[in-house]
Every structure is written in C-alpha cells, then in structure tokens.
C-alpha cells in the first residue's frame, strides 16, 4: 500500500533517548515485503543481561511469540539478542512458521556466538503468508557487523508497518542516588486491543535487576499501560513486550526501588500512548476515565466498552458531544451501573448527572470542547471505589481506507 | 440528517403480510423530531390477546423498556395496545422519562378504554433528550379514530430512524390442520448487537396461546434469531420485541405445535436478517458459521468475535479475502481454539486447514467470491460439537458518515 500521511497526533520529533550501556543495534533492508525501506532490526545485549517479556494471550498467536514464551524466564548469564522483522507476521503459518523462526534465531545465534535459547524474535505484518526467512538470514552477517550503540530511532523505523511515525520513549531515574537509564521503542497502529501486552515494544535499561523481579514488574506495569489502550478492539497475534536489563550502570534495582518502577512505567505508558496517537486513521487522542465503579474490574469493563464502541468513536470523529452513546456503552458493558447515579463530564464540562442531562449543560460549549485534538471523557458511576483509565482514538474514514485495502 | 439512500441489500419490496384478526393499526405525524413523515404508530389488540416480550439487558435501558418489563407477564383478558414513536428514545431522561412514558400510555389507555397496565410503549431515536410527549399525546385521539386492519407497511415506516427501508415478515402455518397466521414488523440499522432482544420488533398472530407459553417461545427463539445479529457491536438502550397473540383464528397453539414454533422462528429470523441488511452503511450481508467448537457458548463467542471485528468487517468492505483476520478474531475471542486444528472456508472455497493456508487455495478465486453481495464464512475448530451461526454486515465509509453526524 502507499505510505500514509503522518498522524496529526504524532509528537513533533523522535525524543532524545539516553544511552544504554550494553546495548548495540543495527537495521537493514531484507525486502521481506516492503522495498526501499528498512525492515529488520537486530539488538545485541551484553553478557549478564536479564530479559523479561509479556506476550499476547491470543489463541492463534504467532510462531515467534510461542518461541519467545518458551525461552523467557530461563536463567542465563550469556549475552542475548532481539531480532525483529516487519512486513510479515509469521502467524498462522503452521509448522513452517516454527521452522522459519528457528532459522532466523539460529542464524543470529551463530553470528553473535550466543545460545539459540537467548535469541528472541518477533515478526509483524500480514498474517497467514509464509515468511521468506532466507531474505532475513542472508542479512544477519551484515547486521552483526554493523552493531553500534544508540540508533533507537532507526530501530523504531525498521519495525513499522502501518505506523506513520517511529515511537520511542526514555528517562533517567535515580536509584540509590545513582542514575539509571531506561529507553524503549514500539510499533503499533491497528489491531490494537492488547491482552497482556501490545504490539511490539522493546525496552532497555542499564540497571542490574533480577530476571524474576523484572518479569513481575513488567507484567504488573503492562496492566495499566499497554493493556489500557485500544484502537479498534482487535487483538494482534503478535503482541510482544521485551525488556532487557543490561546492568551496565553497575546500579542494582529491586522491587523496592519505586523511582525505577515509576520510570519504567512512564516509558511504557509513553510508548503505549504513542501507539494510540498512531491509531489507524486517528484524529483525536481520547482518555476515558472511570471512577465510582463497584470494582477495578468493573471500571475497566466500562472504560473499554466506551473506548471500543464504534458509535462513540464515530461521534468523536464528528466532533459531536453525543453523550447518549456514552450512556449506551456503559449500559452494555456487562458491569454494574445505575442510571440515576451516573455523572458524565467531557473535559471539565458537567454533561449529565442523576440519570439525565445536567440543567446547566451547554451543548455549544461541549461542541466547542470536542474540537480539541486531545479529549477526556470521565464517567463516575456513584457506586463504589473502582477506577480505571484507558486511552483510545476516534474511528474515521481513514481507518476504513487503510483496512479495506491493506493487502492490495 | 438528510435521508439516506436505500440499502443495496434491501428486499425488492415490502412483503404481502397475512391479515391478523384482532389487530388494528394507525400511524401519524407527531413531529417528535422528523418533519414530513410519520413518526408514531398505534396498534390495538382485541380482548383476550396475550402479550409476550423480551427486552434489552442494558443497564441503562430506556424508560419505556422499564415500563414494558413491569407490565409484561401479568394475566389479563382485556384488550391491549402498542404505541411507538421514532425520533427520540426517551432513554437516560431520568424521572422525566418515566413521566413522559406514563403520559403516553395513559393517553392511549383513556382513548381506547384499556387499563394502563395493558398499554406497551416504545421510543426510538436520540438518547438523552427529553421526549416532547405532548406532541404524541395530542395525536392519540386521531390515531384511535383511524385504527384499521392491516397497514403493516405504514406501521413499519412510522418506526424507522436511520433505517432505509421498512421491515416486515409473515407466514401462515398449520396447527391441528387449521391455518394460523403470523405477521411482524421491525426497525433497526445501527447500535445493533442485541442482548436478549434487538431494536424494535412487533409480531402478531391470530393463534390462541397461553401467555407463559408464548413468553417462553419468544425468549427461546430470540436466542437464535435477534440475538444472533450484529451490525456494530453496540447494544441499544431500547431493544424490544413484543409478540401479540389475539386468538382471532380460534385455533389453539401450544409448546408442542412445532409448525407454529417454526413459523414464528422464520418470521423472527426474517426480520432479524432485514435489520442486518439495513445495517448502517452495509454493502454485504455476511453469515458467520462456526462448527467443531468445544461448546455452543464457545461457538457463539468465536462467531461474534469475527462478526464484530472492525478489521474483518473493513476487509469484507474492501472485497479482500483476508482470512488472517479471521484467525486473529478466533484467537482473541476468549473461547478455546487450536491453531493447527482450524479449517476456514469462504463460501465453498477451502482457505486454510491444519494451521496454515490450504495448498489448493487460489487467492484469485477467493477474491472473485468476495465480490458477491451475500457471503458465508465458515470456521471449523476441530475440537467438539459446538455450533453457532450469526449474521453481520461490512464496515464502510457509509457507517462513519452516518454516525459522525447523526445528531447534526
């Protein structure tokens, strides 16, 4: 397909990311599907690096996801590598898919002198077509020779599919008075309704951290970051988040280092938000905030029912403060609600309370608010202490255009 | 909003419906929201009529739905009435909503000399705006004076909102060697993902049938008819199916009269299909058939995951045999699936089996098949005996157009 115009919600530029010791990167043009652009990314991680990961729970998850799941969590002090291609997801490709994944991870292991169990691969793109893996393995030698520090922006570009901008986020936090750095990249634009993880994200830190501690942190933080975004309610077969802690800073971090945890959370949330900002056809970035639900689980159900409703999303596209559709979505969510205890705000505009439109509601003011590019919709259920916040985008002609001819 | 072009999936014409003794109808122009068209429908039902109904389970259901639920099931030999307006749903209108419903049902009861407990009302249209009920009550006297047999097409037109054609279905079945007639009308086009009922449907029969037997039949048949369609995964606050058995034929029907049950099922399914055929922006009518699931519940989850997937629906709009998205939807449904046991057909074209594309698969032939206006997608899970069939339509620019400016 023709390349798409950059999302109006894109950041001004790719951020300056901190240098992460122990990480080197390379990108190349394997021609898996796209021509004239990079489509393969290799990351090498020094010996001692701990790797944590969370993956889609789709029942039809792709071959590289199954391979990563089998490898994650094993204790090892050897180096490691991530290898990622765009253009083909190697999903629903039967036994051939597993063979293709093994060919790629084997080639990386040989080129970098690593155990194959320490090479984690991802593939993203079309589902159900055989991955021409030799185009990738043919490039591994060159990529290994080109590995260099930094280069996160190039890496983020190589893993894009329908993405319209490369996604990166980073921060430097203080652990025991010493600086520890975190940097990550992600891709994702459509088929976004993560279930345990979203799309592809690779995050690097120079902290020293135990693998099981890192795994627990990443899983917990995923619940309120990547798992709280939705573009179109469709869950990818390839969702993968991999986090590598190289230890190059010499600074140990534990489950008690709240500054580190908060820094990691900020990077994950920033990347998750960038995926929504690049939602296929998106023109609005929308935060859906729920309070007063019976439980956290109920709050999330309400939030996701609103965020995934095609009627809510098309109304937002039309800049229509159609709060009746918010009421509809809450009503269908399956979670507890009482019509006469609900309160709804668009931004700071009180729209409805006590089961009806607020007497002070001013439709013209609400319509003006809806013209903003960033919107907040807040529903208080008035029932309990359950809260949730999720992020989504609008549903526009652009989404239909992109997806009606994705394979043509 | 401007009136929409008639759906390309519409039937050639409104069907000839059988005369149902004991039923008289009238329609009028109350100007609730629309001008220049009818927007209120009154049906009078003779004494002895039994009324059954199923309603949305939305937690934010509308005032007339709550009123109907409270009235349904009460034993009565008096006459009854249905009164329906389009243009305003009287949903999320707080205490005022209940007062508006009572004003309307009270006016009908007075005009037709019925107990108010036998007047069932529905409202459909915009959510959250006060229903100008006096515009309706002012017209009740005239409507009562105009009641006449037949007139189903006019009644079906009066209850339309974004519908592009009036929906009717009927049949004559044999019970104990005697003819019994069934006729029904429905409306619905968007906000279609019924939960116990869909949108508005009114069905009439001249059989003699016990209220509790009729209620059980309607509830059971709804599960495989109205509850098996989806346009956009959004569930209305107003879904209502009311069935009236006038007994005018003098023929009793019971839960053992399979011919009657099958006739009622055919009418309900025909109306449900017409709602999908008028799905907002629809250009394709799609049957999703699941076999081989672990259970019926699982089969339904898979079928609805496919039918509600924006990526599947946009691919169908683009006439793209993108079976990878079928795999994705099965994977995210939450129901059991094993990649390597799945088989997928588009029409009679075997697309994929054993976890991968079929060796005989011919993309050109599949692409040609996708140009049909009526499509069947069949997935066999290879796991058990669970089956389900649901119906949906594609997701097009028309849907975005209609819903981005619905209130303008």
Task: State the average pLDDT over residues B243-247.
Answer: 87
**Which of A327, A403, A407 has the CB atom closest to B127's CB atom?**
A327
pLDDT tens by residue, B71-99: 998 878 899 999 999 999 898 888 889 99
**Which of B96, B237, B315 has the CB atom closest to A327's CB atom?**
B237
Residue B312 confidence (pLDDT): 93
Residue A406 pLDDT level (bands cut at 50, 70, 90): low
Task: State the average pLDDT over residues A145-151.
Answer: 95
Q: Which two tokens stand for residue A157?
A: 């570009």
* Cα A201 to Cα A45, A295, B126, B148, distances in angstroms: 16, 30, 42, 67
Q: Is B174 annotated as catalytic?
A: no
Q: Is the pLDDT of residue A408 over 70?
A: no
Residues of chain B with C-beta less than 8 angstroms from the C-beta of A322: 406-407
pLDDT tens by residue, B60-71: 788 999 999 999
Residue B197 pLDDT level (bands cut at 50, 70, 90): very low
* Partner-chain contact B320 A405, CB within 8 Å: yes
* Partner-chain contact A339 B315, CB within 8 Å: no
Distance between CA A384 and CA A378 in Å, rounded? 15
Chain B residue with Cα closest to A234: B309
Give me chain B's average pLDDT, please: 88
pLDDT tens by residue, B276-304: 888 888 899 999 999 999 999 999 999 99
Strand B240-245 to B200-205 pairing: parallel
In chain A, positions 95-134, which contact chain B (CB-CB < 8 Å)? 95-97, 126-129
Residues of chain B with C-beta less than 8 angstroms from the C-beta of A327: 60, 91-92, 127-128, 237
In chain B, positions 363-382, which contact chain A (CB-CB < 8 Å)? none
- Helix/strand/coil (H/E/C) assignment for every residue in chain B: CCCCCCCCCCCCCCCCCCCCCCEEEEEECCCCCCCCCCCEEEEEECCCCEEEEEECCCCCCCHHHHHHHHHCCCCCCCCEEEEEEEEECCCCCHHHHHHHHHHHHHHHHHHHCCCHHHEEEEEEEECCCCCCHHHHHHHHHHHHHHCECCCHHHHHHHCCCCCCCCEEEEEEEEECCEEEEEEEEEECCCCCCCCCCCCEEEEEECCECCHHHHHHHHHHHHHHCHHHEECCCCCCCCCEEEEEECCCCCCECCCCCHHHHHHHHHHHHHHHHHHHHCCCCCCCEEEEEEEEECCHHHHHHHHHHHHHCHHHHHHHHCCCCCHHHHHHHHHHCCCCCCHHHCEEEECCEEEEECCEECCCCCHHHHHHHCCCCEEEEEEECCCCCEEEEEEEECCCHHHHHHHHCCCC
**ipTM for the assembly:** 0.74
Residue B306 confidence (pLDDT): 94
What domains lie within chain B, and their CATH numbers?
23-277 (3.60.70.12), 285-404 (3.10.20.340)
A396 shares contact with chain B (CB less than 8 Å): yes
Rounded to the nearest angstrom, the minimum Cα separation between A56 and chain B is 9
Q: Is the pLDDT of residue B319 over 90?
A: yes
Percent of chain B with pLDDT over 90: 49
The helix-helix angle for A310-317 and A296-308 (nearest 10°) equals 60
In chain A, positions 10-69, which contact chain B (CB-CB < 8 Å)? 58-61
* Partner-chain contact B328 A234, CB within 8 Å: yes
Give me chain A's average pLDDT, please: 88
Q: Is the pLDDT of residue A194 over 70?
A: no
Longest dimension (CA), chain B: 71
* Cα A189 to Cα A34, A121, A221, B70, B331, distances in angstroms: 17, 20, 21, 47, 19
A407 shares contact with chain B (CB less than 8 Å): yes
- Answer yes or no: are the C-beta atoms of B326 and B342 closer than 8 Å: no
Residue B198 pLDDT level (bands cut at 50, 70, 90): very low
In chain A, positions 149-178, which contact chain B (CB-CB < 8 Å)? none
pTM: 0.80
Least confident of A155-159, A355-359, B135-139, B386-390: A355-359
Catalytic one of A198, A222, A343, A396: A198
Percent of chain B with pLDDT over 70: 95
pLDDT tens by residue, B337-387: 988 899 999 999 999 988 788 888 999 999 999 999 999 999 999 999 999
């Amino acid at each position: 397909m023709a390349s798409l115009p950059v999302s109006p919600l894109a950041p001004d530029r790719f951020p300056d990311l901190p240098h992460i010791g122990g990480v080197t990167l390379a990108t190349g043009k394997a021609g898996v599907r796209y021509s004239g652009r990079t489509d393969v990314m290799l990351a090498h991680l020094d010996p001692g690096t701990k790797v944590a990961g969370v993956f889609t729970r789709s029942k039809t998850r792709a071959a590289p996801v199954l391979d990563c799941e089998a490898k994650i969590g094993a204790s090892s002090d050897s180096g490691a590598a991530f290898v990622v291609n765009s253009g083909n997801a190697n999903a629903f490709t039967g036994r051939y898919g597993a063979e293709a994944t093994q060919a790629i991870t084997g080639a990386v292991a040989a080129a970098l002198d690593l155990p194959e169990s320490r090479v984690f691969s991802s593939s993203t793109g079309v589902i159900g077509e055989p991955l021409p893996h030799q185009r990738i393995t043919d490039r591994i030698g060159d990529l290994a020779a080109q590995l260099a520090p930094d280069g996160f922006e190039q890496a983020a570009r190589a893993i894009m599919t329908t993405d319209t901008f490369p996604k990166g986020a980073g921060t430097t936090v203080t652990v025991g008075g010493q600086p520890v750095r975190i940097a990550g990249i992600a891709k994702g634009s459509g088929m976004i309704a993560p279930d345990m993880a979203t799309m592809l994200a690779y995050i690097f830190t120079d902290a020293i951290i135990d693998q099981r501690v890192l795994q627990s942190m990443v899983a917990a933080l995923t619940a309120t970051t990547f798992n709280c975004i939705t573009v179109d309610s469709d869950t990818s077969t390839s969702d993968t988040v991999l986090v590598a802690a190289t230890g190059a800073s010499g600074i140990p971090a534990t489950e008690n280092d709240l500054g580190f945890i908060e820094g990691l959370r900020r990077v994950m949330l920033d990347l998750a938000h960038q995926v929504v900002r690049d939602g296929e056809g998106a023109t609005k970035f929308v935060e859906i905030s729920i309070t007063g639900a019976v439980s956290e689980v109920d709050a999330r159900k309400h939030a996701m029912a609103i965020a995934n409703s095609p009627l809510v999303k098309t109304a937002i596209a039309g800049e229509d403060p159609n709060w009746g559709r918010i009421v509809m979505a809450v009503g269908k969510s399956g979670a507890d609600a009482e019509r006469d205890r609900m309160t709804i705000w668009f931004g700071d505009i009180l729209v409805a309370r006590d089961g009806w439109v607020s007497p002070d509601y001013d439709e013209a003011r609400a319509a003006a608010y809806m013209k903003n590019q960033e919107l907040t919709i807040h529903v208080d259920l008035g029932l309990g202490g359950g809260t949730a916040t999720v992020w989504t985008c609008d549903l526009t002609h652009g989404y239909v255009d992109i997806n009606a001819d994705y394979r043509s």
